[in-house]
């Protein structure tokens, strides 16, 4: 943090106009430093309620920056001229015109758009909702910059597991930003949402492939064309986990084609296989991350498995580019499998 040392301000002495201007500059530096700190902390916090508090405080600090800057501009005409000169240079280099915060001629004040926050919020929410596998397992966020984490495995003892980074770029057009500001409407970020869905799918694929490779138990699954086959196969897998004393929740992951087979109705019972399977497990999820003919039943508890994130759906602003704002969304993660017996892989034999 940057601040003015109190010993440099003798008690009772009043500041000159130049010193007040200097104090305002120091205050702006301190506020910008605080904004950066609060936003960095917010990006590392999973709890949405806590994260919003930090983001809200950061927004308040931005208001304080505006207040101090307005005072400074009223006291330092040279500073005003330099700010205007800098804005013109940015417009010449990038084509981007910074709003001056004043009234639009003949109309009301434009709505304020915090571009980075608006984009990050939309994209992070999209990633979280699109995860089919990762969000159903316990997770831990180690924080940005963490490249590896320790893992204690029942089968292999203690080891160090590197995190894999997945990253996708996207753009937001300046025209979309201008329209959102002019109409006070939601910023459209179609490329951002596409990148979010791609990231979520790649995360799920990484987690699912690790579960398939390292799952401790393999059981045969039938064709599931006949009603009753699927519940019988799932019941055997549940019985195995329960017999090992592994706690619930039990989560079943299936390829969408196998999930669709659960919708067949038994003539004897009048209920679908899906309803019968849901009576056996705590959650059933379809994911294209699994190939057809393979399913995974997991004891989704911290003692069996968890997903460790370094960066968790982080959204970074790269910069302006030919009328667009370029961002990237990324995660760094690894699956820690602590007890392979808590993962049952169901496999259909090839015909």
Q: What is the pLDDT of residues 83-120, one digit of tens each?
A: 777 777 776 666 566 655 443 333 344 445 789 999 99
- Classify residue 99: in a domain, yes or no: no
Q: Do 118 and 253 fall into the same domain?
A: yes
* pLDDT at res. 8: 62
What are the tokens at 304?
Answer: 């069996």
Pairing of β 324-337 and β 314-321: antiparallel
- What span, in angstroms and rounded, lies between the C-alpha atoms of 96 and 12? 47
Number of domains the chain is built from: 2
Can you give the pLDDT at residue 102?
A: 41
Which of the listed residues 94, 122, 138 is the one where a domain comes to its end?
94
The predicted structure's pLDDT at residue 9: 61
Q: Tokens 């304080």 identify what position?
A: 64
User: Which parts of the chain have pLDDT scores under 70?
Assistant: 1-13, 48, 91-112, 351
Domain annotation covers residue 198: yes
DSSP 350: P
Is residue 1, in this structure, part of any structural domain at all?
A: no
> Considering the domain boundaries, does residue 270 fall inside one?
yes
Regarding whether 261 and 130 lie in a shared domain, the answer is yes
- Per-residue pLDDT, 68: 82
- Predicted local confidence at residue 108, as pLDDT: 40
- My answer on whether 200 and 155 are in the same domain is yes
* pLDDT at residue 103 in the model: 39
What is the per-residue pLDDT for 12? 65
Residues 113 and 173 in one domain: yes
Any idea what the CATH number is for the domain that residue 243 is in? 3.30.2320.10
Burial-class residue 311 by CB neighbours within 10 Å (0-12, 13-18, 19+). buried
Instruction: Let me know whether 185 and 217 are in one domain.
Output: yes
Q: pTM of the entire structure?
A: 0.68
Domain presence at residue 157? yes
Going by DSSP bridges, is the β-strand pair 250-254/294-299 parallel, antiparallel, or unpaired? antiparallel
- Domain range for 344 is 109-351
């Amino acid at each position: 943090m940057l601040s003015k040392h109190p010993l440099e301000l003798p008690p009772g002495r009043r500041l000159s106009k130049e010193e007040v201007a200097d104090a305002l500059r120091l205050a702006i530096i301190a506020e910008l430093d605080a904004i950066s700190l609060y936003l960095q902390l917010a990006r590392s916090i999973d709890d949405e309620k806590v994260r919003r508090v930090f983001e809200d405080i950061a927004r308040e600090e931005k208001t304080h920056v505006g207040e101090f800057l307005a005072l400074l501009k009223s006291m330092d005409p040279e500073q005003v001229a330099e700010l205007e000169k800098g804005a013109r240079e940015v417009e010449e280099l990038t084509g981007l015109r910074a709003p001056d915060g004043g009234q639009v001629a003949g109309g009301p004040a434009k709505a304020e758009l915090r571009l980075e926050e608006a984009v990050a919020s939309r994209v992070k929410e999209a990633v979280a909702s699109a995860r089919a596998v990762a969000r159903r397992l316990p997770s831990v966020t180690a924080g940005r910059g963490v490249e590896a984490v320790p893992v204690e495995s029942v089968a292999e003892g203690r080891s160090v597991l590197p995190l894999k980074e997945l990253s996708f770029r996207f753009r937001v057009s300046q025209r979309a930003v201008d329209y959102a500001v002019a109409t006070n409407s939601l910023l459209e970020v179609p490329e951002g949402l596409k990148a979010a869905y791609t990231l979520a799918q790649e995360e799920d694929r990484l987690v699912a492939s690790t579960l398939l490779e390292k799952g401790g138990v393999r059981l045969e699954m039938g064709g599931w064309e006949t009603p009753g086959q699927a519940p019988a196969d799932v019941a055997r897998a549940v019985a195995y986990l329960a017999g090992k004393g592994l706690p619930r929740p039990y989560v079943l992951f299936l390829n969408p084609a196998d999930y669709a087979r659960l919708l067949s109705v038994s003539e004897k019972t009048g209920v679908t296989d899906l309803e019968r399977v849901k009576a056996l497990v705590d959650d059933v999820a379809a994911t294209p991350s699994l190939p057809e003919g393979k399913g995974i039943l997991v004891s989704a508890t911290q003692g069996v498995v968890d997903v460790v994130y370094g960066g968790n759906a982080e959204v970074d602003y790269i910069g302006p580019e030919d009328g667009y704002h370029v961002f990237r969304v990324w995660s760094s993660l690894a699956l820690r499998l602590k007890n392979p017996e808590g993962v049952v892989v169901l496999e259909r034999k090839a015909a």
